[in-house]
Each structure stands twice: as structure tokens, then as C-alpha cells.
């Protein structure tokens, strides 16, 4: 597993086997909130560039503040003061991932008539995935205060604000938020729902 953790990896894990391919068409996901229809779309080059600039500004601001830690510093603090070895969590997750692949391979070799063995293997898959997901979430929570992760999360939030659109009338869409500030000040569930759909699109598209 790489260092990039946070909301993006957790959402990837949560949606990994629950993707509905029919919902993802032309690099967009449509969804409903109340009586309104929205969609998230992939970002173009200019939007990605602007989001990267936003992420870099957040990173620079955070690194100059007191009481902030880089990922490397946070890992060291967790290990020295809390006896939590994040690298070992990675190793455990990697081991479970390899174990999961072996179970999938075993399942692929089973005949449809061997229902008892198939059920056991499917139960094993569920158990291993749940165990691995638990580790991924634990690591995400532990490392979420790191400067790199805060900046990365802001990157996805910024893109979500840009790439969420609302259906006005047939085939006519407009941005759900006119500005980044409007997105930040939105007290409804729409920003969270849009973020989840956008991350789903990024990892599933």
C-alpha cells in the first residue's frame, strides 16, 4: 500500500465491490437528492490544475502553522508515544490482500455443484475483506491529521465543488455551486453526497 491515504482510499474500499457499472456513463455519475437530479463528472485539465494549486496552497499554509505534522512526523509520534506502527498495519493489509487473491483463485476453480465449498470460500472472502477494511479505516483515522492527507482531501473537495452539476431542464445543466465558498458554506448533505459520488467515479471509472 502507498502513502496516499485518507478519505479517497476509504471510499475506494467501501465501494470496491458495490459499483454499479450502469451508473457510470460517459465519465459521469447521476444521482438524486430530494426532487433534484445531479451529476458528477470527471475534471478537465484546467480544473485538475486549479485543484492541484489549491492543494499546494493548503499544504504550504499547514506546514507553516504550529501543531501540524507531516506524514513522516506523525508516523514517528504514533510509534514512539502510542506504540502504533503504521508500517505494520500496511504489512497486515498487504498480507490480507494476498490471502484474498488466493481465495478468489480457489473459488474460480470450484465447480458450480460444489455448493458447500463455494459458500465457505465466499464466507472467507467476506471475512478477509471486512478485516482488511477495518485496517484501512484505522490507518485513515490515524493519519488523517497529517498535512499531506489534509491537503489531498482538500484536492478532492475542490474538484467536487467544480464538477457537480444540477439538472435545470432537459439536457441543460449548471454548476451546483457558483463558487468554492458557496460549496464550503453549504449546510445540506449535498456536498458529502457529491464527494462520495465523485470519489466513486474517480476510482471506478
Q: What is the pLDDT along the chain (205 residues), one digit of tens a residue?
A: 444 444 555 455 545 544 444 345 578 999 999 999 999 999 999 999 999 999 999 999 999 999 999 999 999 999 999 999 999 999 999 999 999 999 999 999 988 889 999 999 999 999 999 999 999 999 999 999 999 999 999 999 999 999 999 999 888 999 999 999 999 999 999 999 999 999 989 876 4
Instruction: Please report the pLDDT score of residue 8 as a whole number.
Output: 53
Full residue range of the structural domain in which residue 82 is found: 7-204
2 falls within a domain: no
* Cβ-proximal residues to 203 (8 Å cutoff; 6+ apart), any chain: 8, 11, 12, 15, 16
Residue carrying C-alpha cell 457499472: 21
Q: Of 156, 160, 177, which Cα lies nearest the Cα of 29?
A: 160
1 falls within a domain: no
108 falls within a domain: yes
The rounded distance, in Å, linking the Cα atoms of 142 and 65 is 20
Total number of domains in the chain: 1
β-bridge mates for residue 174, sequence order: 166
126 falls within a domain: yes
Q: How far is CA 65 from CA 53, 77, 146, 204, in A?
A: 19, 18, 12, 36
The rounded distance, in Å, linking the Cα atoms of 203 and 205 is 6
Residue carrying C-alpha cell 444540477: 166
42 falls within a domain: yes
The rounded distance, in Å, linking the Cα atoms of 81 and 84 is 8
The rounded distance, in Å, linking the Cα atoms of 89 and 179 is 39
Amino acid at each position: 500500500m502507498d502513502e496516499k491515504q485518507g478519505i479517497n482510499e476509504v471510499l475506494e474500499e467501501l465501494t470496491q465491490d458495490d459499483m454499479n457499472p450502469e451508473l457510470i456513463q460517459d465519465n459521469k455519475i447521476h444521482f438524486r437528492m430530494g426532487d433534484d437530479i445531479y451529476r458528477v463528472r470527471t475534471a478537465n485539465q484546467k480544473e485538475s490544475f486549479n485543484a492541484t494549486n489549491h492543494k499546494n496552497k493548503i499544504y504550504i499554509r499547514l506546514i507553516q502553522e504550529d501543531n501540524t505534522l507531516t506524514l513522516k512526523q506523525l508516523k514517528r509520534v504514533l510509534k514512539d508515544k502510542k506504540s502504533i506502527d503504521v508500517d505494520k498495519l500496511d504489512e497486515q493489509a498487504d498480507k490480507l490482500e494476498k490471502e484474498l487473491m488466493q481465495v478468489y483463485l480457489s473459488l474460480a476453480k470450484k465447480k458450480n455443484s460444489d455448493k458447500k465449498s463455494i459458500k465457505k470460500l465466499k464466507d472467507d472472502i467476506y471475512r478477509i475483506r471486512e478485516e482488511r477494511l477495518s485496517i484501512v479505516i484505522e490507518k485513515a483515522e490515524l493519519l488523517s491529521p497529517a498535512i499531506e492527507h489534509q491537503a489531498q482531501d482538500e484536492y478532492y473537495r475542490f474538484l467536487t465543488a467544480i464538477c457537480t452539476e444540477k439538472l435545470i431542464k432537459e439536457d441543460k445543466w449548471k454548476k451546483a455551486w457558483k463558487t468554492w465558498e458557496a460549496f464550503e458554506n453549504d449546510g445540506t448533505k449535498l456536498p458529502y453526497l457529491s464527494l462520495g459520488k465523485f470519489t466513486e467515479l474517480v476510482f471506478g471509472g
